Chain A
């Protein structure tokens, strides 16, 4: 249970990181969201055997986390939570794709291994960038930015509420799980059957809370539509520089294989 406790606490830490005031934090949320989307599209659109050409993309998360004053250890731990899922997707590639694409002396590398590594690298790139985006922008600001960029309000509000109540729900879940654990004396309680009713119980509680939240909204004059909050509307010079600079760089990385170019340069100079 400690694991659940710990991961919620970490979540709050992500939230506190977003309250910092650095160069990166000051950039408009819309700009950061769009740049991240361009980044993700460029990364996922590579051919499935690509590895080397994707490496320059690591510069984006690294620069952002350094300038945004984010603790690298914390980011790595968050990233480790995501990697197993990516691994599960790429795991069977080596079994199906046995075409030899690389040779290191005696060692033949199948295409499946290469594509598996490629999937892993993509997961590292996209997941780390997404975590960093939240840590330098803050979740509510991302929701507001998405809405300003044209996402329907219903979805933006859904996301915002999800984020607001995930803290309350995890607290509740931890309490329920703890009380079960304390009365099961190191055994597994009554097993899966009881676990089902525990989850059902949580669902009912959530349902009731939703009803009470709705009551609280109605009693403050809610009439079905959220009024827009006022944020800064205009993009500044830094914002435009950020979005155009990074986007241009991503497109360049996407179409020119930088590592290969450097490699060629080296082998040409040093025969």
Chain B
């Protein structure tokens, strides 16, 4: 299945104002992998994503999607293969109804009416939003918007899904639902996020960007165990991997970090320490 790979080869990007956003970025994502791209604000994550579907052109270097080297000539094919879900669903849902929005991609592909309708139905089923078909997108809740935005990309049957900050702005319940949904997908997935707990649950591999450079690329758990790397890149361990504030000797020894909530001696708190 070599045709599902995404590859960046020595990617450089310099914005017109002279800011260097990417410096010699190289990586290769294989079929079916779920990869996170993490980094501080301004590390170059968004710029990188915009290269993967050909919205931005590299100053030097190249991006390969499947068998195609991304260039002006094959943009249509690249964008059909790479489905991009933007951070703010209000940017992605611009049509009068949910149906029109999910149908937008398939209609641009020139599909016949029956096929478009089938794809819209399938995509909305997939994200559990069948009941929203005729609603105008601006009356939806944040979680609903997000799911519809994902459906609007799924309807094009992309092989690769790129999600920019999928959990931002969602309440804990909607976040959980979204994560369960993403986990069930079999697409090749590339996710950027500051939600490192989500990254730990959904991505087996993580690429760390810092000031436009790849600082690390490897198994997610290994990267999150490397505290000095995380420190250097303005990141920190996911909460699930941080020590329990109540029983960690480090915090109890240091009075400045005394826990805010002290457990009652008769009622010990319960949690697992399996990481």
Which residues of chain A in 203-244 are interfacial with respect to chain B, using CB atoms and an 8 Å cutoff? Answer: 209, 212-213, 215-223, 227, 229-230
CB <8 Å contact, A216 and B113: no
Q: Which of A140, A213, A220 contacts B96 (CB 8 A)?
A: A140
Which residues of chain B in 73-96 are interfacial with respect to chain A, using CB atoms and an 8 Å cutoff? Answer: 76, 79-80, 82-84, 86, 88, 90-92, 94-96
B224 within 8 A of A: no
CB <8 Å contact, A216 and B138: no
Known A215-B55, A229-B100; contact A222-B108, beta-carbon cutoff 8 A: yes
Known A167-B138, A230-B113; contact A219-B91, beta-carbon cutoff 8 A: no
Within the complex, the shortest CB–CB distance from A222 to chain B, in Å, comes to 6
Within the complex, the shortest CB–CB distance from A137 to chain B, in Å, comes to 12
CB <8 Å contact, A213 and B91: yes
Which residues of chain B in 112-129 are interfacial with respect to chain A, using CB atoms and an 8 Å cutoff? Answer: 113
**In the docked arrangement, what's the CA distance between A15 and B97, Å?**
12
Question: Which of A139, A209, A213, A216 has its CB near the most chain B CB atoms (within 10 A)?
Answer: A216
CB <8 Å contact, B91 and A209: yes
B247 within 8 A of A: no
**In the docked arrangement, what's the CA distance between A160 and B156, Å?**
23
Mask, B94-116, CB within 8 Å of A = 1, is 11110010011101111001000
B232 within 8 A of A: no
Q: What B residues does A252 contact at CB under 8 A?
A: none
Give chain A's interface secondary structure class: helix
Q: What A residues does B84 contact at CB under 8 A?
A: 216, 219
**In the docked arrangement, what's the CA distance between A143 and B95, Å?**
12
B216 within 8 A of A: no
CB <8 Å contact, B94 and A213: yes
Within the complex, the shortest CB–CB distance from A271 to chain B, in Å, comes to 61
Residue of A nearest to B77 (CB): A221
Q: What B residues does A161 contact at CB under 8 A?
A: 94
A48 within 8 A of B: no
Residue of A nearest to B134 (CB): A19
CB <8 Å contact, B79 and A223: no
Q: What B residues does A222 contact at CB under 8 A?
A: 104, 108
Which residues of chain B in 44-75 are interfacial with respect to chain A, using CB atoms and an 8 Å cutoff? Answer: 50, 53, 55
CB <8 Å contact, B152 and A220: yes
Q: What B residues does A23 contact at CB under 8 A?
A: none
B38 within 8 A of A: no
**In the docked arrangement, what's the CA distance between A140 and B153, Å?**
22
B238 within 8 A of A: no
A26 within 8 A of B: no
**In the docked arrangement, what's the CA distance between A168 and B139, Å?**
11
Residue of B nearest to A172 (CB): B90
**In the docked arrangement, what's the CA distance between A229 and B103, Å?**
9
**In the docked arrangement, what's the CA distance between A217 and B109, Å?**
13
**In the docked arrangement, what's the CA distance between A213 and B80, Å?**
17
**In the docked arrangement, what's the CA distance between A150 and B80, Å?**
32
Residue of B nearest to A19 (CB): B134
Q: What A residues does B95 contact at CB under 8 A?
A: 164
Q: What A residues does B103 contact at CB under 8 A?
A: 229
**In the docked arrangement, what's the CA distance between A91 and B83, Å?**
58
Q: What A residues does B91 contact at CB under 8 A?
A: 209, 212-213, 215-216
Q: What B residues does A220 contact at CB under 8 A?
A: 79, 104-105, 108, 152-153, 156
Q: What A residues does B142 contact at CB under 8 A?
A: none
**In the docked arrangement, what's the CA distance between A126 and B59, Å?**
56
Known: A215-B50, A215-B91, A218-B79; 9 extra A-B contacts, CB below 8 A, are A12-B139, A139-B96, A161-B94, A212-B91, A215-B86, A220-B153, A221-B76, A221-B80, A222-B108
